[in-house]
Amino acid sequence: MALDQSFVGRTYPPTAPYEVGREKIREFAEAIGDANPAYTDPEAAKQFGHSDVIAPPTFVFAITFKAAGQVVQDPQLGLDYSRVVHGDQKFAYTRPVRAGDRLTVTSTIEAIKSLAGNDILDIRGEVHDEAGEHVVTAWTKLVARAAEEG
């Protein structure tokens, strides 16, 4: 089922702040098997010029994708989430995410396309800190694969 084009350009309200915890960063770094000390040792992070431990580059996706849930689960949009796969992902960083950040995400639907029965949805998530400064922008392309015949 083709998605409603009128959703293109729609921006959802900013999320409630997500507080980035040191131990959450550690848990994430362990899950991806990455022993870089900048993720777990505040002193090592300081030697790189960071005021506290920083998060791996892809960590913020957990926050932006949760925010994109507003879009994905919007019943008016009608996306079949059970058939959704991740198409593309991109991040542009003003600075790394670090422990103690309180981050909000503002999600915007950038594009909706239908290609060979697949619904393709481009969502941009702008991530800001408590001071309102930009931290990172995440672009997520989701593809709802066409249902098979029969």
Partner 1 sequence: MAAKIAYEDVEVGTELPAGTFPVTRATLVQYAGASGDFNPIHWNETFATQVGLPDVIAHGMLTMAEAARVVTDWVGDPGAVVEYGVRFTKPVVVPNDDQGAVIEVSGKVAAKLEDNRVRVDLTAVSAGQKVLGMSRAVVRLA
- Which residues are near partner 1 by CB under 8 A? 27-28, 30-34, 36, 38-39, 47-50, 54, 56-58, 61-62, 65-66, 82-83, 85-93, 95-96, 139, 145, 148
Beta carbon of residue 62, minimum distance to partner 1 (angstroms, whole number): 5
Smaller CB distance to partner 1: residue 36 or 114?
36
Helix (H, G, I), strand (E, B) or coil at 66: helix
Query: How far is Cα 150 from Cα 140, in angstroms, rounded to an integer?
Result: 31
CB of residue 64 to partner 1, shortest distance in Å: 11
Question: To the nearest whole angstrom, how small is the minimum distance from the Cβ of residue 85 to partner 1?
Answer: 7
Helix or strand run (H / E) with residue 30: helix 22-31
Q: How many CB atoms lie within 10 A of CB 100?
A: 13
Query: What distance, in Å, lies between the first and last C-alpha atoms of the chain?
Result: 16
Closer CB to partner 1, 4 or 134, in the complex = 134
As measured in angstroms, the least distance from the Cβ of 6 to partner 1 is: 27
Nearer Cβ to partner 1, position 6 or 105? Answer: 105
E strand or H helix that includes residue 43: helix 42-47
Q: Are strands 102-115 and 18-19 parallel, antiparallel or unpaired?
A: antiparallel
